[in-house]
Structure 1
Amino acid sequence: MDLFQIVFLALIQGLTEFLPISSSAHLILPKEILLWPDQGLAFDVAVHFGSLIAVLAYFRKDVSRLIIAFFQQFGSRGQTPDSRLAWMVVIATIPAGIAGLLFNDYIETNFRTSLVIAITTILFGLVLWAADRRSNLSKGVYQIGVATALIIGVAQALALIPGTSRSGITITAALFLGFTRSDSARFSFLMAIPIIVLGAAFETLELFKEHTIAWSDIFLGAALSAVSAYLCIHYFLTFIERLGMLPFVVYRLLLGGALFAMLAFN
């Protein structure tokens, strides 16, 4: 890849990882439409690692509080709202972890196409719009229970399909369950941490099979992804209650429509 492609893909990964518009789709499309070379597994690991750094940095206080509370619950202090929330994050991760082990290879082989992305971009954009139109969005993140966590976790498993958007589908599920936009997004971002860790660990194991790695590309990609992802999280959470999900729904519909148009003329 040349420098422009590295910068473009790293920034796109960072910006789209936490927006409800699908990062996987935006990383596949340059190869499908612009005929760019595949960025390779090493670069994928780097940009996902950058996203992980960003979400850990932004939620550093929340993460440290949840981890401390999780281990303190086994002592005299017992369970607290923070330790319970930590359990909910763990429980919500299980469905996607199982689905990834069972179906990841099949999805990678059969679903990474422009047609699939066009369909899922529009379909789940409309579902997000329907969820955001609910009038009773009043629940907070500490009201998430086991059943709720599992429902959102199952929704997260659907994000294995390109174009679905991991953050988009989990926020959609939380909105349908009556949670506020900001708390839906906050739980979605906390859920992203173990999923990105698991995904990056799996990809890293595969990475040992590669013989040549362009380390300068790796470090640049990780750094740019981290910076853009951090800014994305900050501004998304700042404006989400005011803007709602409509801008992202409109973007998804336009993107999906453009993809269908390209497919029709090819």
Structure 2
Amino acid sequence: MSLWFAIAALALVQGATEFLPVSSSGHLSLAHSLLGQGEADVLTDVVLHFGTLLAVVWHYRDELLRTIKGFVSGVRDLAKGDREGAKANSGFMFSLYVCSGTLSTMVIALSLKDWVEGVLRGPVLVGSMLLLNGAILFSAPRHLTQTGAGEGELGAGLSLKTALLIGLLQGIAVIPGISRSGLTITGALWLGLSGTQAARFSFILSIPAISGALILHLGELAPGQQVDWGGLALGATVAAFVGTLCLRFLVGTLKRARFHHFAWYCWALGLTAVALSVR
């Protein structure tokens, strides 16, 4: 099988499943098995995740710019002793919520890392976790919170407690077969956020998490490794393009309160993976 074809296929899977709540890690694990690729190549994994990271940054570019400006303005307010001004700055408060969520993600993810890499592997386990992921998605509230005028305000509906809890859920999602977006968005919906707010915080919170994981993986690269830069560029491009489309689709699905429909797909794929592995 052509290496470029395999990379493009994996990029398609990564771009779609990084944002749709069906577990990118679980799908990539199954895709590697189907393509006969064995364990994921570290550099390929880094490049594909970089592609989907670009998709998030592009989709939320306006919100990210407002967050950066708000953070700088908030720091200036604090330097002048204006704590009330900093608290009233939605961009500054949103940046604090992202930092808080990232810290709780780090604690949980690093605690689970060795256990996940050493024990939680194989199609049977991934299939079982996909079944659990389906149950999580099916539990999502059908009648989403409506926030009206506050919908576009950064940090609307969030608190320090909410941010920490969503970050904790993101850390748990290092388990293959459990969707990061599925777990964090479902949790955010149950905590009272609207679909738009839940998606926005979930995906912006993923930026430092994915960036940190990429840095850790870069340290695992073998020195002198031969690199097919053309194939990797293709993979990053496909992952970014498909990821952008799927991110838009997911946000629209949340607005229509149909998030729980993804549960049926997870159950079907999970049952198939388990059945094919134990036959």
Q: Given the two structures, how large is their TM-score scaled by the length of structure 1?
A: 0.92
Partner of 1:188: 202
User: Matched residues in 1 for 2:114 and 2:220: separation?
Assistant: 13
**Aligned partner (choices 97, 103, 107) of residue 116 of structure 2:** 107
User: Matched residues in 2 for 1:259 and 1:186: separation?
Assistant: 31
Greater Cα shift, 36-45 or 84-93: 36-45
Partner of 1:179: 193
User: Matched residues in 2 for 1:232 and 1:210: separation?
Assistant: 36
User: Matched residues in 1 for 2:144 and 2:250: separation?
Assistant: 21
The 3-state SS of whatever aligns with 1:260 is helix
User: Matched residues in 1 for 2:219 and 2:203: separation?
Assistant: 25
1:85 has 2:94 as partner = yes
CA contact (8 A) 1:118 1:163 kept: yes
Letter in 2 for 1:58: H
Deviations 1:161-200 (A, max 9, x none): 0000110110111111122222211111111111111111
1:117 has 2:131 as partner = no
Partner of 1:8: 9
**Aligned partner (choices 229, 241, 246) of residue 243 of structure 2:** 229
User: Matched residues in 2 for 1:136 and 1:188: separation?
Assistant: 16
In structure 2, relative to structure 1, the CA distance for the partners of 1:212 and 1:136 (3 Å cut) is closer
User: Matched residues in 2 for 1:180 and 1:236: separation?
Assistant: 14
**Aligned partner (choices 145, 155, 173) of residue 137 of structure 1:** 145
User: Matched residues in 1 for 2:184 and 2:271: separation?
Assistant: 23
In structure 2, relative to structure 1, the CA distance for the partners of 1:210 and 1:168 (3 Å cut) is farther
1:201 has 2:215 as partner = yes
Partner of 1:215: 229
Letter in 2 for 1:187: F
User: Matched residues in 2 for 1:124 and 1:225: separation?
Assistant: 23
Q: How many residues align?
A: 264
Shift of 1:31: 2.6
Partner of 2:64: 63
User: Matched residues in 2 for 1:124 and 1:37: separation?
Assistant: 24
User: Matched residues in 2 for 1:61 and 1:210: separation?
Assistant: 39
User: Matched residues in 2 for 1:24 and 1:41: separation?
Assistant: 13
Shift of 1:208: 5.1
CA contact (8 A) 1:20 1:165 kept: yes
User: Matched residues in 2 for 1:86 and 1:73: separation?
Assistant: 10
Letter in 2 for 1:137: T
User: Matched residues in 1 for 2:140 and 2:261: separation?
Assistant: 14
User: Matched residues in 2 for 1:26 and 1:209: separation?
Assistant: 29
Letter in 2 for 1:94: L
Structure 2 unmatched runs, 5+: 78-84
Letter in 2 for 1:84: M
The 3-state SS of whatever aligns with 1:20 is coil
User: Matched residues in 2 for 1:69 and 1:102: separation?
Assistant: 32
Greater Cα shift, 255-264 or 94-103: 94-103
Deviations 1:27-66 (A, max 9, x none): 1002334533434000000001111111111111100110
Structure 1 unmatched runs, 5+: none
Partner of 1:252: 266
Q: Given the two structures, how large is their TM-score scaled by the length of structure 2?
A: 0.88
RMSD of aligned residue pairs (Cα, Å): 1.8
User: Matched residues in 1 for 2:277 and 2:248: separation?
Assistant: 35
Shift of 1:6: 1.2
In structure 2, relative to structure 1, the CA distance for the partners of 1:190 and 1:150 (3 Å cut) is same
